[in-house]
Structure 1
């Protein structure tokens, strides 16, 4: 995930540098290029790709809050663990 973001940022930075150093280019154009081709798409990409991690953290916090409120550890199915059986 981060490799794509780093590569995208590098390309956007090079585009902005080419805009700034071009005889017809301006620093304002370079800033707009960096913003519209780099920062905004990268921010959106990182937000979308980070969604599963945020969801896992939220569920872990909810499980921890349930464990604190009840005084018991969460059951095995809530953590993805198989329930243990006692043999008679």
Structure 2
């Protein structure tokens, strides 16, 4: 089963968050967002705005493009 872009982006955020050893709560606090929103982003059920993506990337100490490139890699993998 193929994944969609929101799911792939959420996977990228979660992997980067775990690499940074941050909890969802820490990411949410750093990005000034609700933990429930971060959870929905990671599950691919939220549709984050451009400014939300920027805040998440800043908190994860990366460029938004790094998250998008990871998401594209997940999208290109064959099931």
Higher RCO (CA < 8 A, seq sep 6+): 2
Same fold, judged at TM 0.5 (above): no
